[in-house]
Amino acid sequence: MGFTGIHLARELLAEGEEVVLFQRRGNLPSSASDLQGKVSIASCDINNWVQIVETVRKHEISTIYHAAALLSKGCEESAFGGFRVNVEGTMNILEAARVLGVKNVIYVSSGATYGLHPPAKVYDDTPQKLENMYATTKACCERLGEQYHRQYGINFCGARFAMVVGPTRQISYHYGDWSGVIERAAQGMPYTVHSNPESPCAYIYIKDVVRALVDLKKADQRRLRRRIYNFHGFMATLAQVTKVIRKHIPDAQIRFDWDRSDEMKLHNNALNYEMDNAATFADLGWKPRFLLEEMVEDFIQEVKRGGAD
Binding of residue 131 to a copy of itself (CB under 8 A): yes
Cβ proximity to a copy of itself, 81 vs 259, nearer residue? 81
Find the binder of a copy of itself among 54, 276, 297, 309 (CB under 8 A): 54
The answer to whether the CB of 89 falls within 8 A of the CB of 74 is no
Binding of residue 130 to a copy of itself (CB under 8 A): yes
Neighbours of 114 (CB within 10 A): 24
Find the binder of a copy of itself among 1, 64, 70, 133 (CB under 8 A): 133
Binding of residue 114 to a copy of itself (CB under 8 A): no
Amino acid identity of residue 104, one-letter, is N
Binding of residue 266 to a copy of itself (CB under 8 A): no
Amino acid identity of residue 208, one-letter, is D
CA distance 41 to 300: 28
Span interacting with a copy of itself, options 2-10, 124-132, 240-248, 263-271, rule CB under 8 A: 124-132
Provide, rounded to whole angstroms, the least separation between the CB of residue 157 and a copy of itself.
17
Provide, rounded to whole angstroms, the least separation between the CB of residue 54 and a copy of itself.
5
Find the binder of a copy of itself among 53, 71, 171, 224 (CB under 8 A): 53
Find the binder of a copy of itself among 88, 274, 294, 309 (CB under 8 A): 88
CA distance 202 to 205: 10
Site for a copy of itself in 276-295 (CB under 8 A): none
The answer to whether the CB of 5 falls within 8 A of the CB of 19 is no
- Cα dist from 223 to 125, 166, 220, 250, 251, whole Å: 17, 30, 6, 46, 49
Amino acid identity of residue 286, one-letter, is W
Binding of residue 13 to a copy of itself (CB under 8 A): no
Find the binder of a copy of itself among 87, 171, 279, 291 (CB under 8 A): 87
CA distance 102 to 169: 29
Binding of residue 79 to a copy of itself (CB under 8 A): yes
**Three-state SS at 196:** coil
Provide, rounded to whole angstroms, the least separation between the CB of residue 18 and a copy of itself.
21
Binding of residue 26 to a copy of itself (CB under 8 A): no
Bridge partners of 20? 40
Binding of residue 91 to a copy of itself (CB under 8 A): yes
Span interacting with a copy of itself, options 5-13, 95-103, 261-269, 272-280, rule CB under 8 A: 95-103
Amino acid identity of residue 305, one-letter, is R
Binding of residue 143 to a copy of itself (CB under 8 A): yes
Give exposure, 251-278, as e/b (b: 16+ Cβ within 10 Å): ebebeeeebeeeebeebbebbbbbbebe
Number of H helices, E strands in the chain: 12, 13
The answer to whether the CB of 86 falls within 8 A of the CB of 141 is yes
Cβ proximity to a copy of itself, 77 vs 293, nearer residue? 77
Provide, rounded to whole angstroms, the least separation between the CB of residue 129 and a copy of itself.
11
Q: Is the dihedral of CA 148, 139, 22, 38 positive or negative?
A: negative
Binding site for a copy of itself (CB under 8 A): 48-50, 53-54, 57, 76, 79-81, 83-84, 87-88, 91, 95, 99-100, 127, 130-133, 136, 139-140, 143-144, 146-148, 150-152
